[in-house]
Amino acid sequence: MEERAHLEVSGLTKRFGGLVAVKDMALSVAAGRILGLIGPNGSGKSTVMKLIMGIERPDSGSVRMNGVNVAGWPSHKIARMGAGIVFQHSRPLHRQTVLENIKLALLPDKLTRLLADPKTDEQARMIAARVGLSAVLDRRPATLPFADLRKIEIAKAIARNPSVLLIDEPFAGLTGKETAAFSDLICELRDDGRAVLLVDHNVKSVARLVDRVIAMYVGERIAEGTADEVMHNETVRRVYLGGRIETASRPESSFRDAVTPFLELDNVSVHYGKAQALQSVSIHVHEREFVSVVGLNGAGKTTMFNAISGLLPYSGDIRRQGGSLRGRSAAAIARGGIVHCPESRELFTEMTVRENLDLGGQHLPPAECAAQIEWLFELFPILRQRQRQTAGTLSGGEQQMLTIARALMMKPKLLMLDEPTLGLAPVILEQISKALERLRQTTDVTVLLAEQNVTFALPHADRVYVLEHARIVWEGGPARFAAEMGTGYL
- Quote the CA–CA distance of 325 and 110 in Å, as a whole number: 58
- Quote the CA–CA distance of 106 and 414 in Å, as a whole number: 55
Residue 122: strand, helix, or coil: helix
List the pLDDT tens digit at each of the 490 positions of the chain: 346 689 999 999 999 887 788 999 999 999 999 999 988 767 888 899 999 999 999 999 999 998 899 999 999 899 888 898 888 777 788 888 988 888 888 876 554 444 556 688 888 888 888 888 899 889 988 888 778 888 888 888 888 888 999 998 887 766 667 788 888 888 988 998 999 999 887 677 788 889 999 988 888 898 899 988 887 787 877 666 555 555 567 777 778 776 789 999 999 999 887 778 899 999 999 999 999 999 877 788 999 999 999 999 999 999 999 999 999 999 999 999 999 998 888 888 888 999 999 988 888 898 999 999 999 999 999 899 888 989 888 877 888 899 999 999 999 999 999 988 876 666 777 888 889 888 888 889 999 999 887 878 888 899 999 998 889 999 988 888 866 765 556 5
Secondary structure letter of residue 254 according to DSSP:
G
- Quote the CA–CA distance of 114 and 301 in Å, as a whole number: 48
Secondary structure letter of residue 143 according to DSSP:
G
- Quote the CA–CA distance of 436 and 424 in Å, as a whole number: 16
* Structural domains of the chain, with CATH: 7-241 (3.40.50.300), 262-485 (3.40.50.300)
Q: Residue 158: count other Cβ atoms within 10 Å of its Cβ.
A: 20
